[in-house]
Amino acid sequence: MLDSRAEFSASAASSAKWQEFYQAALLELDNGKMVQRISEARHAILDRAEEILTSSPSDERSALNDALQALRVLEQSSAREKPAA
């Protein structure tokens, strides 16, 4: 079983991972790469959310929800900007 320091370290690493993918999606300027970045961010967020579902409510849970909402808006905006084929 992990001690509390190891658990904290693993939790911090998981938290940083979804945030990195999220930031990459928000900062992506290439519309051609946007869909992939959003998908990667969403998967990382959902993976982390699954990890903390059984834990008590936290600031990170709120941040995950906010990030998912922002990605939805970004995705909708990106879809509107795609030229018609």
Q: What pLDDT is attached to residue 26?
A: 96
Q: Tokens 């946007």 belong to which residue? A: 34
The residues, any chain, with a CB within 8 Å of residue 44's CB and separated by 6 or more, are 17, 18, 20, 21, 22
Residue 22 near residue 44, CB atoms below 8 Å: yes
For 21-79, write each residue's pLDDT tens digit. 999 999 999 999 999 999 999 999 998 888 877 676 778 888 888 899 999 999 999 88
Confidence tier at 1 by pLDDT (50, 70, 90): very low
